[in-house]
Amino acid sequence: MSERTKPYEEKMKKSMDSFDAELNTIRVGRANPHVLDKITVSYFGTDTPLNQVGNISVPEPRMLLIQPWDQSILKAVEKAIQASDLGINPTSDGKVIRLVFPELTEDRRKSLSKEVKKKSEEFKIAVRNIRRDAMEALKKMQKKSEITEDELDELEKEIQKLTDKYIDQVEKRMEAKSKEIMSI
């Protein structure tokens, strides 16, 4: 890759990392600590990510165990989980919080699969927007005579290859996640 296309490749890579993080937050019927990544707890007046206020473990395939380091925030952690879109009621014994993940129904699997497809479309659009920005920047450079017509053609081809590569990665990850959701 050339120096002129490198910033756009980095932007596409960051979009891909964001997409992966987004997919990790979608639960697929078994316990995954990443489903809690977006949940924050008010801790000493600051919204703090749940994974920074306690230990999160997976003692069983469909259970998460949250053990806050400071027992005084146990109720706040429970409330944060209930307020989230996780759809699971936490149970507490005064020391730890248990989250038991129910088996996903067929309808829920289908709706999660649709959600994954929707998110993948959003990220494909983001990658295409990066391509559009790159193309506009390159055309401006060519108008200012900073690059030649031939260089413009080469750079546009490079940008298109990058775009195709990252859109293909989004597709593959979307298919894998959908398959994972639909498998029982």
Say whether both 175 and 111 belong to one domain: yes
Say whether both 112 and 92 belong to one domain: no
Distance between CA atoms of residues 70 and 89, nearest Å: 21
> pTM of whole model > 0.75?
no
Say whether both 132 and 82 belong to one domain: no
Domain boundary among 52, 84, 100: 100
4 compared with 131, residue with greater pLDDT: 131
Is residue 52, in this structure, part of any structural domain at all? yes
Under the banding of pLDDT at 50, 70 and 90, the label for residue 1 is: low
Structure tokens given for 179: 């398959």
Domain boundary among 50, 83, 100: 100
Amino acid letter, residue 34: H
Say whether both 89 and 133 belong to one domain: no
Query: What pLDDT was estimated at residue 27?
Result: 66
Average pLDDT of the chain, as a whole number: 88
Contact by Cβ (8 Å): 97, 65: yes
Is residue 140, in this structure, part of any structural domain at all? yes
Query: What pLDDT was estimated at residue 52?
Result: 86
Report the domain count for the chain: 2
The domain of 14 spans: 6-24+105-182
Query: pLDDT, tens digit, for every residue of 98-130?
Result: 988 877 788 888 888 898 999 999 999 999 999
Please, which residues have CB within 8 angstroms of residue 60's CB and are 6 or more apart in sequence?
Answer: 31
Is residue 1, in this structure, part of any structural domain at all? no
Under the banding of pLDDT at 50, 70 and 90, the label for residue 159 is: very high
Query: pLDDT, tens digit, for every residue of 16-58?
Result: 999 988 888 776 767 778 878 888 888 888 888 888 888 988 8
CATH number for position 176: 1.10.132.20
Is residue 87, in this structure, part of any structural domain at all? yes
Query: What pLDDT was estimated at residue 154?
Result: 93
Query: What pLDDT was estimated at residue 135?
Result: 94
What kind and span of H or E run contains 66?
Answer: strand 63-68
What's the Rg (C-alpha) of the chain? 22
Say whether both 56 and 118 belong to one domain: no
Say whether both 109 and 177 belong to one domain: yes
Query: What pLDDT was estimated at residue 129?
Result: 96
CATH number for position 72: 3.30.1360.40
At 40, phi and psi to the nearest 5? Answer: -120, 150
Is residue 13, in this structure, part of any structural domain at all? yes
